[in-house]
């Protein structure tokens, strides 16, 4: 009999932060901070990564995939629970961790398009207490976005989700795939096509899928080649172009800053102000009057 999906370790433990109601495609990120306890976790169509955020090591027992692991979980330690795998865990003191769930069909798509693997033969290995600096780094960046809430960085989130999926497959698939890395950047014609598209759609929520599909390319390889061509990631380029448009509108019009923010693809006055200050060192209002 199939185990029913369990939404978290214990129904009494609500996440402190969650991307549940935000526009995060293919990935769900939640931060938990439960007291000592135990529980079961099962997801039918999602692979789960647990990243320890505990400030000091926590003694924990985990049972999954027919194996038992007992030991101290330190900050940055990672556990991986594939879809359709029952996990039991018992932790002996207050815990703090990030739970990242990736949809199975998304992982299959990445395996097929990026790693040229047969998704029907894809199998992930349950793992406990593994170090993986790349996964940890991506997890921390996802947590930062989660803490900002409704930041609207869809292109950035897509890039993080793809990088995490590739890392997960390279580390935990039963057959270790090799990522074919293309060098030399995008051909000039393709690059110009992408730049024109971004310029024409700055006010929209551009996704990595939108850009990669224009060139019939996997999202991972597109990101890699774009950065080789321009020197920055697709998200960094998009953000820079949005701020440049905002600078022009601030100087050349007397429109309200909130209207300029929306016209440039930011979701609020505060969102524009935050990113504008990061790139220019001043607020939009100060820039306009300077």
Residue 1 pLDDT > 90, yes or no?
no
How open is the CA angle 34-35-40, to the nearest 5 degrees? 60
Instruction: Decide if 114 contacts 34 (C-beta within 8 A).
Output: no
Q: What is the pLDDT of residue 178?
A: 67
Q: What is the pLDDT of residue 8?
A: 44
- Reported pTM: 0.85
Cβ atoms < 10 Å from Cβ of 5:
11
The stretch 27-32 carries a mean pLDDT of 96
> Cα 67 to the chain's mean position, in Å?
29
Domains contained in the chain, CATH given: 17-154 (2.60.120.10), 181-290 (1.10.10.60)
Name, in order, each residue with C-beta under 8 angstroms of 86's C-beta and a sequence gap of 6 or more.
3, 40, 41, 42, 64
Q: pLDDT digit string (tens) for 154-202? A: 899 999 999 999 999 989 988 776 666 677 899 999 999 999 999 999 9
Q: What is the pLDDT of residue 193?
A: 97
């Amino acid at each position: 009999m199939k185990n029913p999906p369990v939404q978290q370790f214990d129904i009494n433990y609500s996440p402190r932060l969650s991307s549940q109601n935000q526009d995060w495609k293919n990935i769900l990120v939640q931060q938990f901070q439960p007291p000592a306890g135990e529980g079961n976790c099962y997801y039918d169509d999602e692979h789960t990564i647990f990243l320890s955020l505990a400030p000091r090591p926590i003694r924990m027992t985990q049972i999954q995939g027919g194996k038992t692991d007992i030991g101290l979980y330190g900050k940055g330690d990672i556990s991986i629970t594939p879809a359709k795998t029952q996990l039991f865990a018992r932790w002996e003191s207050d815990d703090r961790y990030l739970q990242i769930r990736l949809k199975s069909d998304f992982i299959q798509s990445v395996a097929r398009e990026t790693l040229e693997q047969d998704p029907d033969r894809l199998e992930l290995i349950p793992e406990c207490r593994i170090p993986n600096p790349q996964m940890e780094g991506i997890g921390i960046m996802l947590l930062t976005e989660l803490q900002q809430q409704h930041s609207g960085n869809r292109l950035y989130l897509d890039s993080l989700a793809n990088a995490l999926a590739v890392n997960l497959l390279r580390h935990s698939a039963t057959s270790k795939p090799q990522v074919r890395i293309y060098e030399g950047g995008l051909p000039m014609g393709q690059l110009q096509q992408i730049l024109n598209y971004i310029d024409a759609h700055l006010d929209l929520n551009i996704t990595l899928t939108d850009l990669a599909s224009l060139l019939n390319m996997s999202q991972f390889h597109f990101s890699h080649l774009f950065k080789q061509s321009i020197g920055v990631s697709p998200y960094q380029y998009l953000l820079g172009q949005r701020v440049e448009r905002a600078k022009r509108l601030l100087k050349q019009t007397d429109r309200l800053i909130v209207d300029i923010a929306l016209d440039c693809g930011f979701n609020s006055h505060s969102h524009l102000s935050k990113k504008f200050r990061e790139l220019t060192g001043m607020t939009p209002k100060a820039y306009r009057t300077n």
